[in-house]
Amino acid sequence: MPALPLEEAGKYVAGAYGVFVVLILVYVAIIGAKVARIEQELETLNDLVDKRAT
């Protein structure tokens, strides 16, 4: 198959690199959400300990 013209090839290249970026961003967002949940649980536990202390 002959090489595609730049404007058409550009769409495929942008698509491939876009998939890579989206994949990493989604993964980092999921990890971010997990860390936020851990932080929230830590706050809850901290409050619990404070209540017991008083």
Residues at the interface with another protein (CB under 8 A): 1, 3-4, 6, 9-10, 12-13, 15-17, 19-20, 23-24, 27-28, 31, 34-35, 38, 41-42, 45, 48-49, 52
Closest approach of Cβ 4 to another protein, in Å? Answer: 6
Of 31 and 54, nearer to another protein (C-beta) is 31
Give a three-class secondary structure readout of 1-32.
CCCCCHHHHHHHHHHHHHHHHHHHHHHHHHHH
The residue with tokens 């404007």 is 7
How many residues in the chain? 54
